Amino acid sequence: MDRDLVERAMSGDHDAFSQLARASIGRLYGIAQLIVRDPDRASDATQEALVAAWRDLSALRDADRFEAWLHRLLIRACHREARMDRRRRAVEVHELPLDDTAGRDELPALHDRDQLERAFRRLGVEERAVIVLHHLEGFPLSEIAGILGIPIGTAKSRLHRGIRTMRATLDADARVIQIDRGRTA
């Protein structure tokens, strides 16, 4: 991230902030989409994070930490969206889209993806955020701890808890599949 742009944005230059937003919005949206698992909620979280960044940018003490701070704002926005989503889920029924074009040869891959999706959805936003930032964005745990403002031990435990939960879900699914296969054999 261009330090000069950040400093100009910090001093109130909206054009500079526009360039920063353009450079980061795709990445932020991708992270948000992975965490909240809903395109509309991801858009809302991304927008909320960037608006908060502009509104509070003067409070940033170190321009070099702009990107980390932006991630922090995004994760916070995802938390908020997830809370609203839980409330909304009481009156709405979400259905995962079925890919009708998938051929029989692709079925195992699609099945795995569904299982991963189901396992990932079982995680809380905290675990999802750490997994996405670590495994996809490549942040080391120490940096994630810094972004989220939590002890590194907490970041580690969230990552391990998330992976363990996903593994357990996938193992349980695998047992169910074996039983089903046994019945149809």
Partner 1 sequence: MRDGFDRTLVTWLASERPPREPDGLLRDVLATTAVTRRRPAWLVWDRWTWSASAVRVVRVVRVASAVALVGLLTAILWFVLTVVGGPRPATPFGLARPGFIAFDAEEGIVLTRADGSDRRTLSQGDGQAVNPTWSRDGLHLAYWHRSAETRSWDLVVVDEDGGNPVTVAHGLSLKARESTLNQPSNLSWSPDGERIAFAADVGDGSAIFVAELARAGPTLITDPRGRGLDPAWAPDGSVIAYQHSLTETLHAVAPDGTADRQLSDLRNTTLWPDWSPDGAQLLVTARVGSQYDIFAVSANGSIQVNVSDHPSDEFSPTWSPAGNRVAWARIPMDGSARAWVVTANPDGTNPVEIREPADLAPPGWSPDGTRIYSYVQAPDGTFQELIVLDPVGVEAVVRLPADGNIGNGNWQRRP
Nearby residues of 134 by Cβ (< 8 Å), 6 or more positions away: 140, 141, 144, 159
The identity of residue 185, as a single letter, is A
Contact 28, 74 (CB under 8 A): yes
Binding residues for partner 1, total number by CB under 8 A: 46
Rounded distance between C-alpha atoms, residue 22 and residue 148, angstroms: 23
Our CB check for partner 1 shows the closer of 84 and 168 to be 168
Site for partner 1 in 102-121 (CB under 8 A): 112-113, 116-117
**Measured from the CB of residue 54, what is the shortest distance to partner 1 in angstroms?**
4
In Å, how far from its chain's centre is CA 83?
Answer: 14
Residue 180 to residues 116, 141, 150, 174, Cα–Cα distance (Å): 19, 40, 43, 10
Selected binder of partner 1 within 18, 89, 124, 172 (CB under 8 A): 18
**Measured from the CB of residue 14, what is the shortest distance to partner 1 in angstroms?**
6
Selected binder of partner 1 within 47, 80, 161, 173 (CB under 8 A): 47
**Binding of partner 1 at residue 21 (CB under 8 A)?**
yes
Nearby residues of 2 by Cβ (< 8 Å), 6 or more positions away: 19, 20
**Measured from the CB of residue 173, what is the shortest distance to partner 1 in angstroms?**
14
Q: Which of 75, 67, 48, 76 is nearest to 9 (CA)?
A: 67
**Measured from the CB of residue 88, what is the shortest distance to partner 1 in angstroms?**
20
| Footprint on this chain of partner 1 (rule: CB under 8 A) | 12, 14, 17-18, 21-22, 25-26, 28-31, 33-34, 39, 42-43, 46-47, 50-51, 54-61, 69, 72, 112-113, 116-117, 131-132, 135-136, 146, 149-151, 163, 166-167
